[in-house]
């Protein structure tokens, strides 16, 4: 089935205020048909509120206007939610109840201990269950309000990552990351020559104090240099690790969405300040591409597909890349930057019947 998506383009055709993104945002929300999703329901807006010195999460203006429109559409109660640490420091980025017009609630409670353990059936590798936050489970309607950015472990962060990593406990985030894998080190073959470490282009490798090889998968581009250069044959690139991580994200997303049957769920991806790393890094980097706009709809697969379609290699602003980072190989821009195909999570979600990759865009004028 072809999904219908709304798109508000950042670039104005004229310099009239009504042609700006702020004005288009209001019209997009009017066209989004919020009432069937939220009227009479306790409505949860899931955001990534960032941390540290980061400042390129979704601007509070957009959140405030969304909250106003959700209330006007008849929601019984509205709140914004994210992980406990992000909620605690949200004021640093301008998110307060006074500014956004509704409470900010820790998704798993202030101590990360309010959740329900939901088994994954069948279990996927080491992932046997996800611990879903009580705040999301208590809601009756969900608005997945996601800031789009690059991501070293899965290629990009958007609607699915906002739910799968953002509506669960720290334990579940650890279990999802544990699926990454990717490079196998055989200790008995290694003579600690450090050739691999010195030739890793991303600085992803190091020896621990105990003498074990540690590979930071987030930075690893799966370029295989380490395996090719190792004189002892101690490193083997397995490659599928990131796909396992993405499948884990898709499975966790499905568990969240199981609580919000259509029409009680909506997705909004904000394609502004598309930074190199996730908001959880607690820092901000320049945007990889010019700001694009805002997508919205009721199909998570379609909105993620459209998001990737909008982020084009030819739009990369190379001067924003940190030293040592450069696109390489083929495929999507995110694949060239991180070595991981960002489409995998979309394919897994489609296989789980969470939506369709086929979409039509309706541009908000
Ligand atoms: S595959 Fe490439 S990026 Fe990854 S650890 Fe090896 S050398 Fe470093
Ligand atoms: S290049 Fe091979 S032998 Fe040398 S430290 Fe790396 S893994 Fe060990």
Q: What is the pLDDT of residues 124-162, one digit of tens each?
A: 988 999 999 999 999 999 999 999 999 888 889 999 999
The atom of ligand 2 lying closest to the CA of 226 is: 1
Distance between CA atoms of residues 77 and 139, nearest Å: 9
- Across the range 163-186, mean pLDDT stands at 90
- Across the range 98-102, mean pLDDT stands at 98
Which of 182, 184, 194, 201 to mutate for ligand 1's pocket (most ligand atoms within 8 Å of CB)?
Answer: 201
Structure confidence at residue 61 (pLDDT)? 98
pLDDT band at 278 (very low <50, low <70, confident <90, very high): confident
Closest CA to 222 of 88, 332, 65, 335: 335
Measured in Å, residue 360 CA sits from the centre of ligand 1 at 39
How far are the Cα atoms of 31, 39, 352 from residue 72, in angstroms, in the given order? 13, 9, 34
Domain boundaries 183-237, corresponding CATH code: 3.30.70.20
State the span(s) of the chain assigned CATH 3.40.50. Answer: 3-178+241-363
Structure confidence at residue 341 (pLDDT)? 93
Q: Identify whether the C-beta of residue 270 lies closer than 8 Å to the C-beta of residue 303.
A: no
Give residues (CB < 6 A) around ligand 2: 190-196, 230, 232, 234-235
State the span(s) of the chain assigned CATH 3.30.70.20. Answer: 183-237
Distance of alpha carbon 4 from the chain centroid = 21
Q: Which residues is 39 bridged to in the sheet?
A: 75
- For 260, phi and psi rounded to 5 degrees? -135, 80
Q: What is the pLDDT of residues 201-230, one digit of tens each?
A: 888 999 999 999 998 888 888 777 898 899
Distance of alpha carbon 126 from the chain centroid = 22
Mean pLDDT of the chain: 94
Distance between CA atoms of residues 111 and 84, nearest Å: 7
Select the more confidently predicted residue: 63 or 182. Answer: 63
Structure confidence at residue 258 (pLDDT)? 97
Give the range among 129-133, 246-250, 283-287 with minimum mean pLDDT: 283-287
Q: Identify whether the C-beta of residue 173 lies closer than 8 Å to the C-beta of residue 131.
A: no
- Across the range 32-58, mean pLDDT stands at 96
Question: By CB neighbour count within 10 A (0-12 exposed, 13-18 middle, 19+ buried), where does 325 fall?
Answer: middle
Nearest CA to ligand 1 atom 4: 220
Whether the CA torsion 363, 80, 281, 109 is positive or negative: it is negative
Token pair of 187 as six digits = 């200790």
The atom of ligand 2 lying closest to the CA of 197 is: 6
Structure confidence at residue 339 (pLDDT)? 87
Question: β-strands 115-124, 77-82: how paired?
Answer: unpaired
Q: Which CATH number fits domain 3-178+241-363: 3.40.50, 2.30.110, 2.60.40, 3.30.450?
A: 3.40.50
Which of 185, 186, 188, 193 to mutate for ligand 2's pocket (most ligand atoms within 8 Å of CB)?
Answer: 193
Of the CA atoms within 13 Å of residue 359, those in its CB half-sphere come to 26
């Amino acid at each position: 089935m072809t999904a219908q998506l709304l798109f508000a383009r950042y670039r104005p055709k004229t310099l009239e205020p009504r042609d700006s993104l702020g004005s288009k945002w209001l019209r997009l929300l009017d066209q989004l048909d919020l009432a069937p999703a939220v009227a009479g329901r306790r409505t949860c807006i899931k955001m990534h509120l960032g941390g540290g010195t980061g400042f390129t999460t979704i601007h509070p203006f957009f959140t405030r206007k969304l909250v106003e429109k959700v209330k006007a559409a008849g929601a019984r109660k509205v709140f914004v939610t994210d992980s406990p640490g992000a909620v605690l420091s949200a004021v640093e980025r301008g998110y307060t109840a006074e500014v956004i017009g509704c409470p900010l609630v820790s998704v798993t409670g202030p101590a990360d201990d309010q959740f329900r353990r939901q088994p994954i059936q069948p279990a996927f590798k080491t992932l046997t269950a996800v611990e879903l936050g009580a705040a999301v489970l208590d809601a009756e309607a969900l608005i997945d309000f996601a800031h789009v950015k690059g991501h070293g472990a899965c290629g990009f962060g958007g609607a699915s990552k906002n739910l799968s990593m953002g509506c669960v406990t720290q334990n579940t985030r650890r279990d999802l990351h544990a699926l990454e894998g990717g490079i196998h080190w055989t200790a008995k073959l290694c003579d600690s020559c450090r050739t691999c470490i010195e030739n890793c282009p991303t600085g992803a490798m190091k020896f621990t104090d105990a003498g074990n090889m540690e590979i930071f998968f987030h930075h690893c581009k799966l370029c295989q240099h380490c395996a090719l250069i190792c004189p002892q044959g101690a490193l083997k690139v397995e490659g599928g690790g990131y796909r396992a991580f993405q499948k884990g994200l898709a499975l966790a997303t499905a568990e969240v969405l199981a609580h919000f049957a259509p029409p009680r769920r909506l997705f909004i991806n904000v394609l502004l300040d598309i930074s190199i790393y996730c908001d959880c890094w607690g820092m901000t980097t320049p945007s990889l591409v010019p700001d694009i706009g805002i997508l919205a709809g009721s199909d998570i697969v379609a909105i993620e597909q459209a998001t990737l379609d909008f982020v084009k290699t030819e739009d990369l602003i190379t001067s924003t890349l940190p030293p040592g980072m450069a696109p390489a190989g083929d495929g999507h821009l995110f694949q060239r930057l991180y070595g991981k195909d960002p489409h995998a999570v979309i394919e897994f979600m489609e296989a789980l019947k969470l939506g369709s990759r086929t979409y039509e865009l309706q541009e908000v004028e």
